[in-house]
Amino acid sequence: MSPDIKTLQKQTETLLKKAKEEKLTTDDIFDLREALRFHEHRYYIQNDPLVSDFEYDTLYKGLEKLEAEAPDLVSPDSPTQRVAKGLTKEFPTVPHLVPMLSLDNSYNSEDLLDFDRKARELTGQTEIEYCVEPKFDGASISLVYENDQLVRGATRGDGVRGDNITPNIKQIRTIPLSARFSAYGLQTVEIRGEVLINKNNFKQFNEALAEQGAS
Tens-digit pLDDT profile for residues 74-118: 988 898 887 655 445 678 999 999 999 877 777 788 988 999 999
| Mean pLDDT confidence for 120-143 | 89
For residue 157, is it left (φ>0), alpha (ψ between -120 and 50) or beta? Answer: left
Clarify whether residues 126 and 198 are in a common domain: yes
Name the domain boundary from 82, 111, 140.
Answer: 82
What is the span of the domain harbouring residue 68? 5-82
- Residue 24: which CATH number? 1.10.287.610
**Mind listing the pLDDT tens digit for each residue in 89-101?**
678 999 999 999 8
Please count the structural domains in the chain.
2
23 has catalytic annotation: no
Kindly report whether the global pTM for this prediction surpasses the value 0.85.
no
Catalytic residue among 6, 85, 135, 199: 135
Give the H or E element holding residue 31.
Answer: helix 29-40
Clarify whether residues 66 and 99 are in a common domain: no
- Residue 132: which CATH number? 3.30.470.30
Clarify whether residues 44 and 150 are in a common domain: no
**Mind listing the pLDDT tens digit for each residue in 163-175?**
999 999 998 988 9
**Mind listing the pLDDT tens digit for each residue in 26-43?**
999 999 999 999 998 888
Bridge partners of 84, per DSSP, are: none
Clarify whether residues 114 and 49 are in a common domain: no
Clarify whether residues 110 and 150 are in a common domain: yes
